[in-house]
């Protein structure tokens, strides 16, 4: 029984440490697990820290880039604001500068005054302002039609129109045309019979004594200069053209005293080659009719020539010149007796009363002798009268 008691005690003693050991083991196991979990947690924290450290290391680079990216526009924005401030400042200064201009508004009045003062100046020179454009906004086509209609009307009024210089050959015509400068065709026609009777050829006139020629040409005015011209062109014809008048413009204008006007008179009436004769009458009328605004004879020739076929140029010249000598005078045109009054933009510049206008007509239109001593038969048939010879009154 004692053994059993002792065994029981040993057993209990043995059992007790064993249980304690198991409890301690359990606690140790629990401790190990807790330590393992703590280590795991610590590892996770360390890995998380490493990750956050890596992220922090990479993050500053990105944020730095972002900061630089954000800093640049930030620097630009103030820069943009500064020009805006400058612009506003400039606007303010512009407004401030503009303010004195408004105060100086009265100073602008003198700038307007010259324009008003220029109006009378333009009115003084109607040649430069009247014919720059067709009247009433007339188109180019309408101008051509009106110009050609005027020529047709004049052709019916002057069917006998011809050069109003007496001549029998090209030499006489070129000399007579040179002499007609600054005088009337009538005075030339009264002078040339004596000249050609004494010097019928270029060779004769080239060898003439200047003083003798001057006495013959004295009635035409500027007789000394005209004597030099006719003797000079006669010498040129005799030496350079075999005593014949050339039929080309470029040759004619080389002769002394011969210009484009004289050359076209000779070409049109002695050689049948069309040309426009721009004399004082022609210039005056084409500007009154507003065919052109030009004042230079060469430019007038080109401008008017563009309105008509070339074949009409010579007759057109006769029609216009005849009308200028008989009806459309320089100082007092007979508007009331003008057959083309409905087509004339300048109607009313002269006498519009028909009865008073008739008293202004000249030559055959007024019942007076013409300018030629030997006019064509057609002129005589139309009621024209020959001009009296020199000294016959």
**Given 251, 279, 356, 362, the catalytic residue:** 279
SS3 39: helix
Q: If you write DSSP's letter for every residue of 174-237 in order, what string do you get?
A: HHHHHHTTTS-HHHHHHHHHHHHHH--SHHHHHTS-HHHHHHHHGGGSSHHHHHHHHHHHHHHH
Q: Rounded to whole angstroms, how far apart are CA atoms 113 and 128? A: 22
Residue entry with tokens 């930030």: 74
For this structure, is 296 an active site residue? no
**Any idea of the CA torsion for 280, 281, 285, 288, to the nearest 10 degrees?**
50
Q: Confirm if 257 and 269 have CB atoms less than 8 A apart.
A: no
Question: SS3 helix, strand, coil % of the chain, rounded to 5?
Answer: 70, 0, 30
348-354 contacts, C-beta under 8 A, 24 or more apart = 349/288
For this structure, is 279 an active site residue? yes
Ranges of beta strands (E only) in 228-334 are none
Residue 111: how many other CB atoms lie within 10 Å: 8
**Given 166, 261, 312, 315, the catalytic residue:** 261
Residue entry with tokens 């009296």: 388
Phi then psi dihedrals of residue 95, to 5 deg:
-65, -40
HEC secondary structure over 362-373: CHHHHCCCCCCC
Q: Confirm if 260 and 253 have CB atoms less than 8 A apart.
A: yes
Q: Rounded to whole angstroms, how far apart are CA atoms 82 and 285? A: 71
Residue 355: how many other CB atoms lie within 10 Å: 9
What positions carry a catalytic annotation?
261, 279
């Amino acid at each position: 029984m004692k053994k059993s008691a002792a065994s029981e005690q040993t057993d209990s003693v043995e059992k007790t440490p064993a249980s304690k050991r198991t409890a301690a083991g359990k606690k140790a196991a629990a401790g190990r697990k807790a330590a393992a979990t703590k280590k795991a947690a610590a590892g996770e924290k360390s890995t998380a820290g490493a990750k956050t450290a890596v992220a922090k290391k990479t993050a500053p680079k990105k944020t730095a880039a972002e900061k630089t990216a954000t800093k640049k526009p930030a620097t630009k924005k103030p820069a943009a604001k500064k020009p805006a401030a400058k612009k506003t400042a400039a606007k303010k200064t512009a407004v401030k500068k503009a303010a004195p201009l408004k105060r100086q508004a009265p100073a602008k009045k003198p700038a307007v005054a010259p324009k008003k003062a220029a109006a009378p100046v333009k009115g003084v020179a109607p040649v430069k302002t009247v014919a720059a454009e067709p009247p009433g906004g007339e188109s180019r086509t309408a101008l051509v039609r009106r110009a050609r209609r005027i020529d047709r009307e004049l052709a019916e009024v002057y069917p006998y129109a011809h050069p109003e210089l007496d001549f029998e050959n090209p030499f006489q015509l070129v000399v007579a045309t040179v002499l007609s400068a600054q005088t009337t065709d009538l005075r030339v026609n009264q002078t040339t019979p004596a000249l050609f009777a004494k010097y019928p050829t270029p060779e004769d006139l080239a060898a003439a004594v200047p003083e003798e020629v001057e006495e013959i040409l004295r009635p035409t005015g500027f007789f000394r200069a005209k004597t030099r011209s006719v003797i000079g062109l006669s010498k040129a014809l005799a030496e350079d053209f075999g005593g014949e008048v050339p039929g080309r413009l470029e040759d004619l204008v080389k002769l002394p005293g011969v210009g484009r006007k004289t050359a076209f008179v000779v070409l049109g009436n002695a050689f049948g080659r069309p040309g426009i004769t721009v004399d004082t009458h022609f210039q005056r009328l084409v500007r009154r009719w507003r065919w052109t605004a030009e004042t230079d004879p060469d430019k007038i020739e080109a401008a008017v020539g563009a309105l008509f076929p070339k074949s009409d140029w010579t007759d057109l010249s006769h029609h216009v010149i005849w009308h200028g000598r008989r009806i459309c005078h320089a100082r007092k045109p007979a508007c009331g007796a003008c057959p083309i009054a409905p087509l004339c933009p300048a109607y009313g510049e002269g006498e519009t009363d028909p009865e008073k206008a008739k008293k202004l007509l000249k030559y055959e239109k007024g019942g007076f002798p013409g300018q030629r001593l030997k006019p064509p038969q057609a002129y005589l048939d139309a009621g024209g009268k020959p001009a009296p010879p020199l000294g016959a009154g």
